[in-house]
Amino acid sequence: MSTNQATGTVTSETFRPIISNFATGVSIITVRHNKKDYGLTASAVCSVSLDPPMLLICVNQNTGTQKAIMEAGSFNVHILGKQQGELALKFSKANTDKFEDLVYSYSDLGNPLFPNVVAQIECQLYKEMTGGTHSVFLGKVHSAKAITENPLLYLKGQFGEFTHLKLETFKSKEETV
């Protein structure tokens, strides 16, 4: 068992290796504002509600993407596939032209839409809250489309993929009787 503990004053240095044990998917958030495309790689994405369909994303307030979402009032979430680690790295580099050499279109609400991802989710901004350095954006799902399978995963600062899915393990009692 790991003995890595953070008690008393938890700092960013002590918290990071602990929260990095929480495996996530990897997404790219995109938005268009004033005829300019913005985007970043984000793992802080969570389903909030199915009825109505809603999700939340957490975006650093120091990014152009955060300001653009505030202004545009909408955003796209792309769930990346296991082969898209390079794309995730490209969209995590600040002060670069992230959209250079990419083939993409625009979604119904006018934001950059990438093909060949696991899923495209288009959101209308519903609410914004501040949490420390980040904006927590609650989005109402406007459209959603699943395209491919096998998502990219992120755990302990590294990309990876499922080697086998044992979904039957997670069936509820009602389903198994």
Query: 3-class DSSP state for residue 19?
Result: helix
* Range 86-105, binding ligand FMN (CB under 6 A): 88, 92-94
* DSSP 8-state assignment for residue 14: H
Q: What is the DSSP pairing of strand 36-42 with strand 112-113? A: unpaired
**Nearer Cβ to ligand FMN, position 40 or 125?**
40
Residue type, 38: Y
* Range 34-93, binding ligand FMN (CB under 6 A): 40-44, 58-60, 63-65, 88, 92-93
- Smallest gap from Cβ 7 to ligand FMN, in A, equals 26
User: Would you count residue 26 as binding ligand FMN (CB under 6 A)?
Assistant: yes
* DSSP 8-state assignment for residue 151: B
* DSSP 8-state assignment for residue 121: E
Q: Which two tokens stand for residue 58?
A: 């957490």
Phi, then psi, of 24 in degrees rounded to 5: -135, 170
**DSSP tally for the chain: helices H, then strands E:** 4, 12
CA 139 – CA 48 distance, rounded (Å): 9
User: Would you count residue 121 as binding ligand FMN (CB under 6 A)?
Assistant: no
**Nearer Cβ to ligand FMN, position 19 or 177?**
19
- Smallest gap from Cβ 154 to ligand FMN, in A, equals 5
**Nearer Cβ to ligand FMN, position 44 or 138?**
44
- Smallest gap from Cβ 77 to ligand FMN, in A, equals 11
**Nearer Cβ to ligand FMN, position 24 or 172?**
24
Residues that bind ligand FMN (CB under 6 A): 26, 40-44, 58-60, 63-65, 88, 92-94, 154
